[in-house]
């Protein structure tokens, strides 16, 4: 059976670093990068977000990847992540009680799986399959730490 999202037994991010990461979105410089009201979502690297403690903790305790914060302001349409086969995600705030990631076949219509990624647990998801995100509550954000695990050259 195909696995779309795999939970990983990895350490929980220390609470003070979660708070630091959550607080950074109220920083005006970061808001400029990720809060453009015309954009559906925003990404900022932990380098650019100036979160060196979190970056070093992730590199040492999870994997030496290029870590980002991602912010979805509304539900995300069906897509494949560009140039990405797998993505590791740690949800800081799901953006609502009923937020799900849904996976589709290549026809973009046949629903294959619906999953909640939960909160504050590590998930590796198959980003090369079509997927969307549904259920973000009005005025809330889905906020996550994320990194590309496997790249792919095309698509």
Nearer to Fe ion, 21 or 81 (CB): 81
Nearer to Fe ion, 81 or 148 (CB): 81
Which of these, 124, 125, 70, lies nearest to 93 by C-alpha position? 70
Nearer to Fe ion, 46 or 89 (CB): 89
Q: Which stretch binds Fe ion (CB under 5 A): 26-34, 65-73, 76-84, 147-155?
A: 76-84
Q: Coil, strand, or helix at residue 142?
A: strand
Nearer to Fe ion, 81 or 143 (CB): 81
Return the residue matching tokens 């509550």. 137
Return the residue matching tokens 């609470």. 15
DSSP letter, residue 132: E
Asked whether position 126 contacts Fe ion by CB under 5 A, the answer is no
Asked whether position 81 contacts Fe ion by CB under 5 A, the answer is yes
Edge to edge, the sheet with strand 68-72 lists: 5-8, 122-126, 84-93, 142-151, 68-72, 41-45
Binding mask 7-46 for Fe ion (x = CB under 5 A): ----------------------------------------
- Nearest-approach distance from CB 91 to Fe ion, in angstroms: 13
* Residue 132 Cα distances to 7, 90, 105, 136, angstroms: 19, 17, 12, 11
Which residues form the interface with Fe ion (CB under 5 A)? 81
């Amino acid at each position: 059976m195909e696995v779309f999202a795999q939970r990983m037994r990895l350490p929980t991010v220390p609470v003070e670093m979660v708070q630091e990461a959550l607080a950074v979105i109220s920083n005006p410089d970061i808001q400029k990068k990720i809060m453009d009201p015309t954009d559906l979502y925003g990404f900022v690297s932990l380098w650019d977000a100036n979160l060196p403690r979190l970056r070093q903790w992730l590199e040492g305790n999870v994997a030496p990847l290029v870590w980002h914060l991602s912010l979805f302001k509304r539900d995300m349409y069906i897509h494949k992540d560009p140039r990405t086969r797998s993505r590791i995600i740690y949800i800081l705030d799901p953006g609502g009680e009923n937020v799900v990631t849904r996976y589709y076949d290549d026809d973009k219509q046949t629903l294959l799986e619906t999953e909640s990624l939960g909160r504050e647990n590590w998930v590796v998801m198959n980003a090369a399959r079509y997927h969307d995100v549904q259920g973000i509550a009005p005025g809330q954000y889905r906020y996550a730490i994320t990194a590309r695990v496997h790249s792919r050259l095309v698509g």
